[in-house]
Amino acid sequence: MQMRITVRPDVHFGEPCITNTRIPVRAVLELVRDDVPLDAIIHDYYPELSPEDVKACLQYAIDVVAAEEVHVAPVP
CB-based contact 18:5 (threshold 8 Å): yes
| Measured distance CA(66)–CA(17) in Å, rounded | 19
What are the two backbone dihedrals, phi and then psi, of residue 39, each rounded to the nearest 5 degrees? -65, -35
What mean pLDDT is predicted for residues 16-25?
96
> What is the reported pLDDT for 2?
56
pLDDT above 60 for 50: yes
CB-based contact 39:52 (threshold 8 Å): no
Residue type, 57: C
pLDDT above 50 for 8: yes
Q: Where are the domains of the chain?
A: 5-65
pTM of the full predicted structure? 0.86
Bigger pLDDT: 31 vs 73: 31
DSSP 24: B
Query: At 1, is the pLDDT very low, low, confident or very high (cuts 50, 70, 90)?
Result: very low
pLDDT above 60 for 47: yes
Residue type, 62: I
Q: Which CATH number fits domain 5-65: 3.30.465.10, 3.40.640.10, 2.60.40.10, 1.10.10.10?
A: 1.10.10.10
